[in-house]
């Protein structure tokens, strides 16, 4: 599974998504321009030590990403009407999310079938869900559908915190 962020603007959101992808095995792709430097301390803080565990590719533009990622593309927008919950996701699917303020660009929408433009249901009167939270919702649903493939074997992969060392400061 691939997560594609088109022109992300907020380093802590992308850092959190790096961490999410490291923990679920999703591959993260970013389309330039980015609203931050990949060396940004807020990005590193959000991603903590997961940056090395995540698969991260930066694409110069959307056309480059499209060539590198030939699977089915699903776009996510608060303006769409089809819920993500009715989709059966596959291993090569590309989950495409826009920038925090602007959402998906017209260019991104033009390369995604209208039937594959999805939304995350929410209560009326709200504008949107935080980007990192939205990506988490969809990635975990897609991973759940695939039986949490690659999750930890000793704990059934169902733990929310894994100790990295024997000693743990309570």
In the predicted structure, residue 17 carries a pLDDT above the cut 80: yes
| Rounded to 5°, angle at Cα 72 from 69 and 78 | 105
- Yes or no: say if 149 and 143 are a contact pair by the CB < 8 Å rule: yes
Tens of pLDDT, residues 104-123: 999 999 999 999 999 999 99
Domain-embedded: residue 111: yes
Cα 148 from chain centre? 16
Confidence (pTM): 0.87
115-124, 133-142, 150-159: least confident range? 150-159
Domain-embedded: residue 162: no
CATH (domain of 6): 3.40.1280.10
**Number of domains the chain is built from:** 1
């Amino acid at each position: 599974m691939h997560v594609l962020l088109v022109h992300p603007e907020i380093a802590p959101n992308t850092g959190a998504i790096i961490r999410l992808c490291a923990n679920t095995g999703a591959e993260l792709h970013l389309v330039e321009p980015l609203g931050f430097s990949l060396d940004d301390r807020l990005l590193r803080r959000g991603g903590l030590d997961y940056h090395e565990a995540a698969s991260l590719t930066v694409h110069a533009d959307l056309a480059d990403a499209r060539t590198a990622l030939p699977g089915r593309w699903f776009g996510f927008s608060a303006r769409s009407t089809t819920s993500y919950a009715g989709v059966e996701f596959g291993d090569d699917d590309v989950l495409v999310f826009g920038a925090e303020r602007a959402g998906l660009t017209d260019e991104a929408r033009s390369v995604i079938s209208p039937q594959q433009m999805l939304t995350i249901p929410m209560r009326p009167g709200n504008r949107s869900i935080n980007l990192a939270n939205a990506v988490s919702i969809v990635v975990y649903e897609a991973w759940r559908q695939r039986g949490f493939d690659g999750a930890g074997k000793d704990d059934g992969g169902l733990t929310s915190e894994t100790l990295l060392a024997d000693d743990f400061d309570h």
